[in-house]
Chains A and B, each alone.
Chain A
Amino acid sequence: MGLKSFSRARAIHVMLVYTGGCNGCDIEIVNSILSPRFDAEQYNVFLTWNPREADVLVVTGPVTHLNRKPLEKIYEAIPNPKLVVAAGSCALMGGVYKNCYGDIPSEEIEGPVENIIPVDAKVPGCAVRPQDVLAGVVSLLPTLLDAD
């Protein structure tokens, strides 16, 4: 393991972008980073709100129409190597909101997240459990460590 992988494994900056879900996932994720019970910092995962600092982008929500462009902009602002975790069933497949008009495509929901930015890991759940989010970020570690 070179210095690159070694340092990447010991400092992971996570940024959260909420794109119009029901709030449940957002709070569970902020919780898992913030609350002393789950304390993601003990795995050297830090929460940041600055895209320039982030390594991993956690996206929740089905990406509503107004959220599409901000999400793209934030994704572009993150320097390489970057990874995306889609958390929650809305982010994975649009949730209950996606197919509300049957076969007629919905104008409101642009998601799932995969349609807009490439997704590297998917964390299911409605709402996601903090343990699952941590597991999702950790499962990305090999990809992150080996990236250029």
Chain B
Amino acid sequence: MDKKVPRSDIIETEIPMGTVHPAALEPYRVRFFVEDEIVQEAEITIGVNHRGIERIMEGLPVQKANALTEKICGICSNAHIWNSCRTAELGLGIEIPERAKYIRVIMGELERLHSHFLYLAHGCEVLSHETFSMRVFYLREIVMELLAMIGGNRVQYGCSVLGGVRPRCELDDARIERLKNDLNAIEEGLTGFVDRFLADSILLSRVTGIGVLPQKQAIELAVTGPSLRATGVARDLRTTMFEYDDFDFNVITQPDGDVKSNLVMRALESFESIKIIRQAIANLPEGKLVNQDWEMFDTDLSESYIEVPRGTLYHSYALESGRVRHCIIRTPSMANIGAMQYACIGDQITDAQLCIVQCDPCFTCTDRAIEIIRR
């Protein structure tokens, strides 16, 4: 496909949307430049959500800062606390017990399930297909209750702590039994949904070829995560993370980079997540949950990349006398904003919000001070 170029010369009119809009789950402003209902260019303005979390974290003890990272985002909260703990652990050289590692993976994958279900449901909602949206929300409720069972809260679970996981998140036999049963229910429901979705020709005609992001363009814009995999690039950081060494899973890709590819890819990836959780439950090692045998010392920059539901998450810490001296967090939506603006071009204005939703935006994650302090 030819490269789509935003036309800058003749613009008929500008239609701003936001900061509150039904198609957006979070505040952001978007300006669409439209000619005859065809979007010629889009400009997303973020910063509405800026709260300065990195600034708050500076000077806090590491444990507190870890807990605070959860408040960055209500969708991938576990990913943030996981990566934050992982960064500190890498810097301080803390060994994590095997059981804790497995429980972190289970939480991470459950969170991926809930994020992907939210994506599917929200996508259907923006398509105005209320019924499908309801069905996916119903499935998502099962995942939310599993998360609440393990973490004790529906949104922010606080599962990881420095050196392992919180004792509250111990998986005993009853919990594992419930996890197993619910996973079966989720798999059954999701299979039904995917079959139904792929058989619905009206819906498919509505999503095929909309919001196309060509592979070359995606690489140029440094798109990460599922949005990249939907353009046919098999790049998944989980294949390089040591936590996932014991698990067998496939990296799902889809060829086209349009809304259909994105939706189908998320659905198929959810099956892989279920597979990983099943493997984790079957081989859950015995042992303690937290390794408290470590010492705090000043560290230079330590950094960590992990694959979160929406892409690549980067954290970096420098510690000084047990406190965070500096911290940088880079979230996946930061990289994907370019893709969102690009995907809108050439589509109907009705589809424009869909094209933004297709890249899985999470601007609450992204709106933070980007302040680089180097020694």
Contacts and interface: CB of A to CB of B under 8 A. Distances in A.
Nearest to A19: B27
B74 A66 contact: no
Interface stretch (A5-13, A26-34, A79-87, A140-148): A26-34
A64 B137 contact: no
A30 B25 CA distance: 9
B125 interface: yes
Interface in A32-87: 34-37, 49, 62, 64-67, 70, 74
Given A19-B27, A26-B25, A129-B154, A108 B51 contact: yes
A49 B25 CA distance: 12
Contact of B52 (A17, A35, A100): A100
A132 B54 CA distance: 30
Contacts of B75: 23-24, 27
Contacts of B48: 20, 64, 66-67
A137 to B, nearest CB: 18
B364 A22 contact: yes
Interface string B132-155: 011001101100000000000111
A25 interface: yes
Nearest to A95: B71
Given A22-B364, A27-B118, A31-B137, A127 B156 contact: yes
Contacts, number: 113
A130 to B, nearest CB: 8
Contacts of B125: 34
Interface residues of B, number: 39
A53 B137 CA distance: 25
Given A97-B51, A100-B56, A127-B154, A49 B74 contact: no
B215 to A, nearest CB: 30
A92 B156 CA distance: 18
B51 A34 contact: no
B344 interface: no
From DSSP, what is the main secondary structure of chain A's interface residues? mixed
Contacts of B25: 18, 23, 26-27, 30
Nearest to B142: A37
A3 interface: no
B7 interface: no
A21 interface: yes
Interface in B286-333: none
Nearest to B70: A22
Contacts of A27: 25, 74-75, 118, 155
Nearest to A69: B19
B71 A96 contact: yes
Chain A interface size range: 35 or more
Nearest to B74: A24
A126 interface: yes
Contacts of B155: 24-25, 27-28, 126-127
Contacts of B53: 97
B55 interface: yes
Contact of A74 (B20, B47, B154): B20
Interface in B114-136: 118, 121, 125, 133-134
Given A67-B27, A127-B155, A18 B74 contact: no
B133 A34 contact: yes
B137 A34 contact: yes
Contacts of B133: 34
Given A23-B364, A24-B77, A129-B154, 17 more contacts: A18-B26, A20-B50, A22-B77, A23-B73, A23-B75, A25-B74, A27-B25, A27-B74, A28-B154, A30-B25, A31-B140, A37-B141, A64-B50, A70-B19, A74-B20, A100-B56, A127-B155
21 contacts: A20-B49, A20-B50, A21-B364, A22-B73, A22-B364, A24-B75, A26-B74, A27-B75, A27-B155, A31-B140, A34-B137, A64-B50, A64-B51, A66-B48, A67-B48, A70-B19, A96-B56, A96-B71, A97-B71, A108-B50, A126-B71
Top 7 A-B pairs, shortest CB-CB distance: A24-B74, A35-B137, A127-B155, A23-B74, A24-B155, A100-B56, A49-B22
